[in-house]
Chains A and B, each alone.
Chain A
């Protein structure tokens, strides 16, 4: 991982063209980064450069453009491998995003190896994308799903997790960081405990990649999935890391071109990893531009990101807590720059609409974590999720906007 360079948030903001506009007559404040982050010029430039200079289909073309496109595509695989510290480049599979990565593991690994009565452990903090693929697998195999409970702060209860583990546990799939609350989970400990009972682990790192260094060998996960678009990269691209021996033991996820060695009507032999799992023409341009997003994060460095986002979260806690009727959700000791809340007597939808009128983009609703909302006995929250380009001034404007909105409902 490259070290932090001397930079400032002001300089970083200049790299993001989309931030410099007015929405509903007010300067845009973008606090919906947990849904998707904005893209720096380097990513936009990489996309258009690829289409303007190198566009071709990859891997089998013999002409110059095909060679350039293949090389750019594989460069991103190398960069991704370095980014998550995988042992081998071939352990990186490109996907559409985190969701596809999880579905791939559920189907290509889970369907092959799970039997009736085998257990899958997930947690109460999961996004629907780390719940539903396992429910589908449960239907297909007769496996059983167990759920790690959480405490009032929105932290996993590790003692309860220990109780759930047994020889029946075959898969443990949890998120690195909660999308709704920002809780950072102790994944290294969770993985070690799973390995003690012989279970395979999958980490949903969608919310980790933009905020927290990922070291797949350090945490010793078996699978890890994340998306480019939440880490300042293009939409429609993600990566799945898997340990070689597991990936090799799995059946293909989809059939088609690219993933085969030889095809006859009698028998088809499959390609080696990672190509075995990349059927069809992939999203080449966005994979190529994904590298620019990795380079962007590495050029800033996670220590700078962490320091700045912690400052934002502390400031949010300071200026938002004295808003009348404020109830925050998720007060984990380890958390990222997410502030999820409700204001007494005002529906999150109304708050979100009012904020939009004031140029402030937040997310309202259940954030694809309905079981978590049920646990808190609420329908949803307002979620302000911050990123590297947000500022404490924006949080001050946000707090003032919320105070104004509260007044409108107290009339």
Chain B
């Protein structure tokens, strides 16, 4: 599935919730539960994504020239939001990640659900994931 298709899928899922805050938070938390566990060695200040109100730790690495993201948060709701980004960007090549626009947060009304200040945290997370991709791009077999 392409990055666009994955984003469209998320937009579709959230549209079913019809803007109901409690249902939306419930769903976001369920998504967070499905995020694979982050190894404890990455749960420290070196892996904190800056700009988030709550703490998010993220580790990015290459598997067969594709970027893998492992992440966790100290809050259940933020963890769910991070899981959405991981779902969209995980398993893509560094170049694909760097090239693509991430538009789904705005489309699912992230501002309305988590407030502008935390959306900035979300933007910081997207930026950080693209920076990881940039750093990893020089380590792929094809190079960049």
Contacts and interface: CB of A to CB of B under 8 A. Distances in A.
Interface of A: 24-25, 346-347, 349-350, 353-354, 356-358, 365, 408-409
Contacts of B21: 24-25, 356-357
B76 A357 contact: no
Contacts, number: 32
Given A24-B21, A25-B20, A356-B21, A349 B26 contact: no
A358 B22 CA distance: 7
A358 B100 CA distance: 36
Interface of B: 20-22, 24-26, 29, 53-54, 74-78, 114
CB-CB nearest 3 A-B residue pairs:
A357-B21, A347-B75, A24-B21
Nearest to B114: A353
B22 A353 contact: no
A408 B29 contact: yes
Binding site of A, secondary structure by majority: helix, strand, loop or mixed? Answer: helix
A347 B25 CA distance: 14
17 contacts: A24-B21, A346-B76, A347-B54, A347-B75, A349-B75, A349-B77, A353-B77, A353-B114, A354-B22, A354-B25, A356-B21, A357-B21, A357-B22, A358-B22, A365-B53, A408-B26, A408-B29
A28 B129 CA distance: 38
Nearest to B33: A411
A347 B80 CA distance: 14
Contacts of A408: 26, 29
Contacts of B75: 347, 349-350
A357 B53 contact: no
Contact of B53 (A349, A356, A358): A349
B22 A349 contact: no
Contacts of A358: 22
Of listed B29, B53, B75, residue having the most chain A CB within 10 A:
B75
A409 B76 CA distance: 9
A350 B26 contact: no
Given A347-B54, A349-B54, A357 B25 contact: yes
Contacts of B26: 408
B25 A353 contact: yes
B78 to A, nearest CB: 7
Contacts of B24: 357
Contacts of B77: 349-350, 353
Contacts of A356: 21
A238 B74 CA distance: 38
A7 to B, nearest CB: 35
Contacts of A25: 20-21
A361 B12 CA distance: 30
Contacts of A346: 76
B34 to A, nearest CB: 14
B74 to A, nearest CB: 6
Contacts of A350: 75-77
Contacts of B25: 353-354, 357
A24 B20 CA distance: 7
Contact of A347 (B20, B22, B74, B114): B74
